[in-house]
Chains A and B, each alone.
Chain A
């Protein structure tokens, strides 16, 4: 799993360019899929719009006018062409349910999701590495057995159960942290206080996400550490009595890095899935909930726009990580 994608080692630049092209092709595929899938499914935005109990029975002429306004009368080809054209001009379209530009909606919710992911990432990467290395260096010891057992149980609990348990523990039974949302009822105007409020609200979702990813990197770090601790240069350094911190950073950390980066590249898309569940449990206003709502409301423009942004983001990150990986591989 940790091997670099084929071809990346010879001539870095052309390979990376090829990679980029392939990813653009994938993006095109995603665009087509998000365009076609919702239209293949039963129901359309007009139906979702008129679903309310209080909606009046409109006349056929009124219905036709609404359909026209929603841009649903044109054939698929026209609709797709219009959308792609707009997309190339940087226009993501206009949400039907929210009556706002898709770009604005995405810009409002994406930062919250990124906050969760970027907040969780250092936590699980660092903790995973530290705990994994310590356990791996003392393989079979009491610490290793205890830690590994604990992590194994942790990895066997569904992520949403972990999230609920965290919420129960720290927001309901012992209410020290907010149970949901991203900001308090009256957000402060002072940036510093406001940052504190945001942090308080993000604490539990971030913890849930970090716990979910922690096991994966713990196992990886442990396995790598076990291998490393038998290598001569490490044994040598150990015998020389190197400072523990240097040992950790220069000998283990440095050598585990490529494996970590490669694994990150694999796990990015999964991370968005986990973030979605966490957002739902903590009613956090992120992009997962936005997309989920768009599916239910058949809000084609929002669904298409938000999905393509997420996919582009994941692809770009993934490409970036592969590039880093290639550099690391070349450095040896």
Chain B
């Protein structure tokens, strides 16, 4: 599982590069097609698209990585609790997960986002907390399988606490599977975040690939759609594909099982 380092590296590079970039200012060159001055053209208030892509990169990455981490973490905690808790509590947790599963997550997102217009700090918990429930059952199955192994039984019989066992024996064993889950979550969260930005529900001062694509909607009947829509869409798709490639390159037989 070597997914983390390249992603974090990319994030670090884009974050470090941002102060070096010129500010993303509006200009009188409105909707200029791609050319020498603006390699990818400009948008409706004369901002350079290429520069916007660069400014949006760290935001998009950060939201994806952090919200997915939050979702995976909460799912793991809930699964760990369910695995070790008495049956009634376990049933309650699973019922809650079922309920959340059935509630259209989009509805909750709409509600909250419509009023809060979340920026970076708001978007991460919002996306994270509306995605975790999808992983609980899987995480629980993994934990139970590992918890049923002999080394854990042995540790328990030696008087080790559940939390100790989870930390020392179960977690290391399911790490590869968790990594795969994490990558899957990044994809999920990124797509959802782009959807929110597309609906115009995120902070407009937070350039993201999704919000850049939204601008194309007003220009579908003019040639401007091509340079408004395609660059951010390609960037987003490429990012998601790279994620997949990274996940597949990682040797995690456990996750496939």
Contacts and interface: CB of A to CB of B under 8 A. Distances in A.
A160 B198 contact: yes
Nearest to B214: A160
B213 A161 contact: yes
Nearest to A271: B104
A291 interface: yes
Contact of A156 (B95, B98, B244): B244
A116 interface: no
A158 B194 contact: yes
B206 interface: no
Interface residues of B, number: 41
A163 B52 CA distance: 23
B59 to A, nearest CB: 16
Contacts of A268: 102
A5 B244 contact: no
A276 B241 contact: no
B210 A168 contact: no
Contacts of A274: 106
A295 B110 contact: yes
A157 B195 contact: no
Interface stretch (B21-29, B30-38, B215-223): B215-223
Contact of B102 (A277, A281, A315): A315
B225 interface: yes
A26 interface: yes
Nearest to A280: B199
B160 interface: no
Given A1-B138, A161-B229, A29 B99 contact: yes
Interface string B89-111: 00100110011011111110111
A269 interface: yes
A160 B217 CA distance: 10
B202 to A, nearest CB: 14
Nearest to A307: B107
Given A164-B217, A314-B104, A295 B198 contact: no
B169 interface: no
A87 interface: no
B191 interface: yes
Nearest to B240: A156
Contacts of B94: 5-6
A107 interface: no
B111 A158 contact: no
A1 B195 CA distance: 25
B151 interface: no
Interface residues of A, number: 48
B8 interface: no
A270 B213 contact: no
A156 B241 CA distance: 6
A95 to B, nearest CB: 18
Contacts of A296: 114
* Most interface-central of A26, A29, A156 (chain B CB within 10 A): A156
Nearest to B226: A168
B191 to A, nearest CB: 5
* Most interface-central of A3, A157, A161, A268 (chain B CB within 10 A): A161
A160 B236 CA distance: 12
B237 interface: yes
A71 interface: no
B193 to A, nearest CB: 10
A310 B106 CA distance: 12
A195 to B, nearest CB: 28
A158 to B, nearest CB: 5
Interface in A38-84: 38, 41-42
A269 B210 contact: no
A167 B220 contact: yes
A159 B194 CA distance: 10
B244 A164 contact: no
A164 B114 contact: no
B127 to A, nearest CB: 13
Interface in A159-181: 159-161, 164, 167-168, 172
B221 to A, nearest CB: 6
B165 interface: no
A22 interface: yes
Contacts of A159: 191, 195
A103 interface: no
Contact of B103 (A1, A5, A26, A158): A26
Interface in A127-178: 152-153, 155-161, 164, 167-168, 172
Interface of B: 91, 94-95, 98-99, 101-107, 109-111, 114-115, 134, 137-138, 141, 187, 191, 194-195, 198-199, 210, 213, 216-217, 220-221, 225, 229, 233, 236-237, 240-241, 244
Given A22-B99, A157-B233, A164-B216, 9 more contacts: A6-B94, A23-B102, A156-B240, A161-B229, A270-B105, A272-B104, A273-B105, A273-B106, A292-B110
6 contacts: A3-B141, A6-B94, A157-B233, A161-B229, A164-B220, A311-B103
Interface of A: 1, 3, 5-6, 22-23, 25-26, 29-30, 37-38, 41-42, 152-153, 155-161, 164, 167-168, 172, 266, 268-270, 272-274, 276-277, 280-281, 291-292, 295-296, 307, 310-311, 314-315, 318
